[in-house]
Amino acid sequence: MPATGPEFMTDTLQTPLFDLHVELGAKMTPFAGYDMPLQYQGIMAEHNHTRDAAGLFDVSHMGQAHYTGDEAALEKLITADLSALKPGEQKYTLLLNDEGGIRDDLMVSRPFGDDGLFLVVNAATKGADFAHIASNTAGKGELRLIEDRALIALQGPKAADAFGALVPSAAKMIFMQCGVFDLDGSDIYVSRSGYTGEDGFEISIPADKAAEIARKILADDRVKPIGLGARDSLRLESGLCLYGHDMNEETTPVEATLMWAIAKPRRERLDFPGAARVMQMFADKPARKRVGFTMAGAPAREGAEIVKDGEIIGVVTSGGFGPTVGGPVGMAYIDREHAVADTDIEIVLRGKARPAKVTKMPFVQQRYYRGE
């Protein structure tokens, strides 16, 4: 029976793992329309465990879809070169509007061989994303939403050993490879990727088997359940953007320092949305740029103003305490002339300007597995 009581009487949706979260003592919180686990044992402990061993995250709130048909129609909407995407490979790409603004960032992969593409998009934008893709590929391709599967992420330096004990062949993949594997009779879609800066896997599993598979993974002493709180601090230390905060439709890939997500052939052909504006901005250099920063004391939060010599030069888009770094870290957009590592800046907190420093990202070493 689903958990009941006043604390669970909400209009938010629940993932297939909701009851397991409650059983494990998670503190639940609304996020992107879902009841999601914020923490189990504490954000700091969960963050450190993921950096030291392996953490299991429920990311079933994200959107999953299968695209078949004319891939050129889909490619016109994003920045990846789909003709170069081989079976068993995954790419990070951007869904852009006509002005080159970022509608979303997403993963596109080819785990099914020649049988189409697997898309994973952000939770808060999945409805708009899928409507946009479907309407712009109508009559050429077919987008089928996958609503009968959960999505989990196993992250950390011991993730491969833990997952390899269950699915040895999947643990042989390297960063950004993917495939379909069997786990106790269930087809699972696996990519070696994640959102923490650590080695790990994102795993799409049948919804009716989600709790069973999650329990099997959690039975390994190296693995603990991890909530959204640590997921945010882990991604922040790793310099990874959160959509709706560090990028949005008013932000171009140039400003967000995501030009690497636009495949070289697409740049040369100028055939991605907003290409003329984006490439002109790239040539001229943008007026503002996403940067990282560090500071002492209390962390700066989203919306805090950044000043230099008494003038406002930018705004914080993400901020928090970095347990691995041992102090506050954050991201911001600031005027280009000040967007140089080691530049001294000030951030206004509660009416007081406090010293900070522009800092190169990622704040911690990314440890993706790229082979021996």
* 295 and 355 fall within a common domain: yes
Angle among Cα 65, 69, 71 to the nearest 5 degrees reads: 85
Maximum pairwise Cα distance, the chain: 63
Q: Identify the domain containing residue 312 by its residue range.
A: 287-359
Is-contact 159 60, C-beta < 8 A? no
Amino acid at residue number 189 = Y
* 154 and 293 fall within a common domain: no
* 52 and 163 fall within a common domain: yes
Split into its structural domains, the chain has a count of 2
Does residue 276 fall inside a structural domain? no
Does residue 282 fall inside a structural domain? no
Does residue 184 fall inside a structural domain? yes
CA–CA distance, 97 with 360 (Å, rounded to integer): 29
CA–CA distance, 310 with 313 (Å, rounded to integer): 9
Alpha carbon separation from 121 to 262, 288, 321, 346 (Å, rounded): 17, 26, 27, 35
Q: How much is the pLDDT for 6? A: 33
Average pLDDT per 10 consecutive residues for the chain, totaling 372 residues: 36 94 98 97 98 98 98 98 98 98 98 96 97 98 98 98 98 98 97 98 98 98 98 98 97 98 98 98 98 97 97 98 98 98 97 97 97 81
Taking each helix axis from N to C terminus, what angle separates 228-237 and 43-52, rounded to the nearest 10 degrees? 60
DSSP string, 186-221: EEEEEES--SSSSSEEEEEEEGGGHHHHHHHHHTST
Does residue 353 fall inside a structural domain? yes
> Where residue 228 sits, what CATH number does that domain have?
3.30.1360.120
Q: How much is the pLDDT for 12? A: 87
